Amino acid sequence: MTRPPTAELLPRLGLVEATLVVMGGIVGSGIFINPSVVARHVHSPGLILGAWVAGGAVALVGAFVYAELAERMPRVGGQYAYLREAFHPVVGFLYGWALLMVINAGGTAAVAMTFGRYAVELTGVPLEEKTVAVLTLLALAAVNCLGVRSGSLVQGALMVVKIGVLLTLVVLGLLLQRPPAPAASAGPDGLLAFGAAMVPVLFAYGGWQAANFVAAEVREPRRNLPRALVAGVLGVVVLYLGANWVYLRGLGPAGLAATGTPASTLMGAILGPRGATFIALGIAVSTLGFLSHSLLTMPRVYFAMASDGVFFSSVARVSERTRAPVVAIVLQAGLGIGVALSGRYEQILGYVVSADWVFFGLSAASLFVLRRRAVGGERLRFRVPGHPFTTGAFVLVSALVVLSTARAYPLNTLAGLGLVLAGIPAYALWTRKAVRSAGQISVR
């Protein structure tokens, strides 16, 4: 049985659970694949590792920014709430619209299909990939409908397994793999090449912001959420640098660039077919963890929109027994299933990058506004080190990512931004309905 959440979502997540949510939003299948893409752009070990250090620095600044935002406004919906408060409700709505229709529509479907492919290969189950993808999304939706605690336990367990896989990769790479003979550089490494290498790095580091969506369900959010953001990002930076160190040590820059699956190639060289199977299992767990994390965090944005009267009112319903936003969770899973079955997720994925980083930059810029208005008070435990320079640098990096994506994929960028702007008439429709409903209530 459900009811509108006139009360609140209950705070049931502690510091450890929140930290695992942060890490779970970042660590996906990218660290098993993207290092080879980086090595094709820059060819020396120093620059390859430097790109991952620089990406980690950007992610850490982003975590600092979102940590202060979380302390100033520990509200459900995270970015949606910051953009709504700092700029205008329509900006927050467009973020939620983009999250639902663009950023997550293709992402959830694509990752579910990836998990389906690996699950079929590893288990030999006589099912189609689409069937496995649909069943997986339904199962994870059911788990998250049992409550935030249930969803976080599953997501945390998967995160622990992912950490174990990466640590095993690093330890075996250091202990058992002999470094290859050095090879000549494949070409000059300039600033443009380093900038191109940063794109897959930043993608692999993305996702820390999703923990802020569940701010209302974190115990003592003003204290725990900033700590979780910083600790989670630092932990991922250490894991990523360790993985890239052993990739370079075991394969060399040329070998890393030559393979599209560096983790499988390295573990195959160390343990043979068993090593490749181990990494395939790690990738499957990583994709499953992403799906679990997505269904845990993203529905809170739609819930917040509906609570504000700018989305379907039913999405603001909370289970009376589990206190989970069940309609929002089912909506997220249902859209992912629909896109997966339609087979159009790859096209939608091409629209994601520009939309995502536009809102990253806007969310960081919102800190300037919220500071000026003293939202959350002046005496905060956590403030962004080096503000306004570090925050401004993050906004600039976000703009550069959008411009670089627009230059490389102009049609995809235009399509993605067009889908985002299509939310404006939808916002006008819902606000008109909200005004009409308020008028009817006042007449009565």
Q: Where are the domains of the chain?
A: 11-377+384-436
Q: Exposed e or buried b for every residue in 134-160, given b needs 16+ CB within 10 A? A: bebbeebbebbbbbbebbbbbbbebbe
pLDDT of residue 211: 80
CB 216 within 8 A of CB 9: yes
Compute the average pLDDT of residues 49-62: 93
Higher pLDDT, 76 or 198: 198
Task: Check whether 443 has a pLDDT greater than 60.
Answer: no
Confidence of residue 245 (pLDDT cuts 50, 70, 90): very high
Residue 329: name the closest of 338, 316, 320, 342 by CA: 316
- Strand, coil or helix: what is 3? strand
Q: Exposed e or buried b for every residue in 258-297, given b needs 16+ CB within 10 A? A: ebebbbbbbbbbbeeeebbbbbbebbbbbbbbbbbbbbbb
Q: Which CATH class is domain 11-377+384-436?
A: mainly alpha
Q: 56-73 pLDDT, tens per residue?
A: 999 999 999 998 998 898
Mean pLDDT lowest for which of 19-28, 117-126, 202-211, 434-443? 434-443
Distance between CA atoms of 16 and 211, rounded to whole angstroms?
Answer: 12
Cα separations (Å) of 364 from 18, 26, 50, 62, 130?
21, 18, 24, 8, 38
Q: 263-295 pLDDT, tens per residue?
A: 888 988 888 889 888 988 988 998 898 898 889
pLDDT of residue 419: 85
Contacts of residue 247, defined as CB under 8 A and 6 or more positions apart, other chains included, come to 35, 173, 256, 262, 263, 266
Confidence of residue 8 (pLDDT cuts 50, 70, 90): low
Two structure tokens written together for 217: 């369900």
Contacts of residue 215, defined as CB under 8 A and 6 or more positions apart, other chains included, come to 70, 73, 74, 75, 76, 78, 221, 225
Distance between CA atoms of 76 and 8, rounded to whole angstroms?
Answer: 9
Task: Check whether 44 has a pLDDT greater than 70.
Answer: yes
Q: Could you give the maximum distance between any two Cα atoms of the chain, in Å?
A: 83
Task: Check whether 112 has a pLDDT greater than 50.
Answer: yes
Give the chain's mean pLDDT.
85
Compute the average pLDDT of residues 293-303: 89
Compute the average pLDDT of residues 348-377: 86
- Evaluate the omega torsion of the peptide bond into residue 385 and state whether it is cis, within 30 degrees of 0: no
pLDDT of residue 441: 42
Task: Check whether 181 has a pLDDT greater than 60.
Answer: no
The rounded percent of the chain whose pLDDT value lies above 70 is 90
Task: Check whether 178 has a pLDDT greater than 80.
Answer: no
Compute the average pLDDT of residues 308-314: 88
Highest mean pLDDT among 156-165, 373-382, 401-410: 156-165
Mean pLDDT lowest for which of 202-216, 337-351, 377-391? 337-351
Checking phi first, is residue 384 left (phi over 0); if not, alpha (psi -120 to 50) or beta? Answer: beta
Mean pLDDT lowest for which of 5-19, 49-63, 75-89? 5-19
Cα of first residue to Cα of last residue in the chain, in angstroms, is 28
Distance between CA atoms of 378 and 374, rounded to whole angstroms?
Answer: 6
Query: What are the E-state strand segments in 189-341?
Result: 318-319
Compute the average pLDDT of residues 200-229: 84
Give Cα 388 to chain centroid, integer Å.
25
Confidence of residue 425 (pLDDT cuts 50, 70, 90): very high
pLDDT of residue 442: 42
Compute the average pLDDT of residues 300-320: 89
pLDDT of residue 138: 95
Distance between CA atoms of 380 and 57, rounded to whole angstroms?
Answer: 23
Return the residue matching tokens 């919102």: 366
